[in-house]
Structure 1
């Protein structure tokens, strides 16, 4: 497979793990793949670990559009992003070499804070109170006021992010082939003053979601981007939309997203 022979391994520098990886490094080189030390030089970025490590690999390497991402899990790990484990590494190399693989594309969301700072997420963005007090937000869809939320926070998930934090608060699991956003509540209050939908809702890829933080002493929320938390001072508004970017991953044949959902949860 031309121009896809440079591999960068992303993993935590653990001595025991590195010993386990040494035979894989040798196997990759025997199959005419080149191991590179910089992710910028790679055509394939391979994370070693579960979904958390995969998310970090994508984030730390800049959500690259010109390479393939793939994940290797260890024997005791599950991964909805990771099709391969350390035991079938040779099978993955064989597929890459002889083009028997399939490529899966996962949508990315763009997050803008205070109309200035921009971030990208593959899983979800969450906005949560950092003090023992509920947070209040006006929720706008395409600049039209939808509801006034008060509670612990909100989660805005991609289709692939719908199986993580979002699912734990009774959100739906969404097929990743549907480009959309899902908004889920964290412990919302519903009374005569504050009224929310009370359930998750899904927005089409062309929609824009805006959250205006009501400045009532809780204007320092934690913004969670995938599995990283950012404490940004004086947050006034957050805008979330679906990016034009997609993350391309290597997929085993006959191993759909729903096959992995079934293995993980059922």
Structure 2
């Protein structure tokens, strides 16, 4: 088994990554950052998003592990003082994993060209200045004409991020679905949207056609230039992301730990 280590630029993460690499070598585990079987992300949830982006073309063969250098994050199961236990789990690895849905984005341009992207958490269509005006299609038909700050489309695991702050639901990752939530929509006697989050199952698309090309399109830690973009299609991706299931924390426990903590 080959292990890759991906860390952020912070001095603590570099120190922990060096300690991890030494422990792995002492147990005869090969280090390979080019074609790893397991990638250990050392940092926080943002670092794991970076690792996902870095290995995006190998996600069908890679399992991820999150090693947090602070408190436990949403994607990180291990703390930096648990390196011996993590290495022991790697030594006894038998390929166990848990997988989560991903978001597929297809950007279509006026000239007919298309770009495909994958997101682990979410994508956001926003208007940097002024009001975003966009036609939204569901089931292949025009559903509503949105006016407001923007629209977020998230995966189940990403539903606890921007989507939640928009009033969206928290989805369990066993559901192969994506969720669209509105960001400060305008609703009055003239302009109307549904005004509530929408959950779309695998096999269906959310299509957003902005009225103007001066909007912003962001996904996870990336941004896409929107000059001459005609529409953006969102759906549950065929690919899934895999995490090593050595001590994978129950999803609802993650939600509890992240937002509620102890109950007296």
Mind listing any 5+ residue stretches in structure 1 that lack a counterpart?
A: none
Matched residue, 1:68: 63
Task: Report the Cα offset of residue 11 of structure 1.
Answer: 1.2
Matches within 5 A, 1:68-107: 68-74=63-69, 76-99=70-93, 102-107=96-101
Matches within 5 A, 1:109-188: 109-114=103-108, 116-131=114-129, 133-188=130-185
Aligned mates of 2:135, 2:9 — CA distance in 1? 44
Mind listing any 5+ residue stretches in structure 2 that lack a counterpart?
A: none
Contact map agreement 1:109 1:158 (CA 8 A) in 2 = yes
Matches within 5 A, 1:42-57: 42-57=36-51
Contact map agreement 2:6 2:42 (CA 8 A) in 1 = yes
Q: TM-score, normalised by structure 1?
A: 0.90
Matched residue of 1:28: which SS? helix
In the TM superposition, structure 1's runs of 4+ consecutive aligned residues that sit over 2 Å from their partners are: 12-23, 99-102, 191-194, 227-232, 251-255
Aligned mates of 1:254, 1:60 — CA distance in 2? 22
Q: 1:246 aligns with which of 221, 234, 240?
A: 240
Matched residue of 1:78: which SS? coil
Give CA-to-partner distance per residue, 1:91-150, whole Å, 9 cap, x none: 22222322378411011111011261111101001000021x101111101211111110
Distance 1:205 1:73, change over 3 A: same
Matched residue of 1:262: which SS? helix
Contact map agreement 2:135 2:146 (CA 8 A) in 1 = yes
Size of the alignment, in residue pairs?
A: 255
Q: TM-score, normalised by structure 2?
A: 0.90
Q: In terms of mean alpha carbon deviation, does 79-88 or 226-235 score higher?
A: 226-235
Q: Does 1:21 align with 2:26?
A: no
Task: Report the Cα offset of residue 226 of structure 1.
Answer: 0.9
Distance 1:170 1:254, change over 3 A: same
Contact map agreement 1:221 1:235 (CA 8 A) in 2 = no
Aligned mates of 2:23, 2:50 — CA distance in 1? 25
RMSD: 1.8
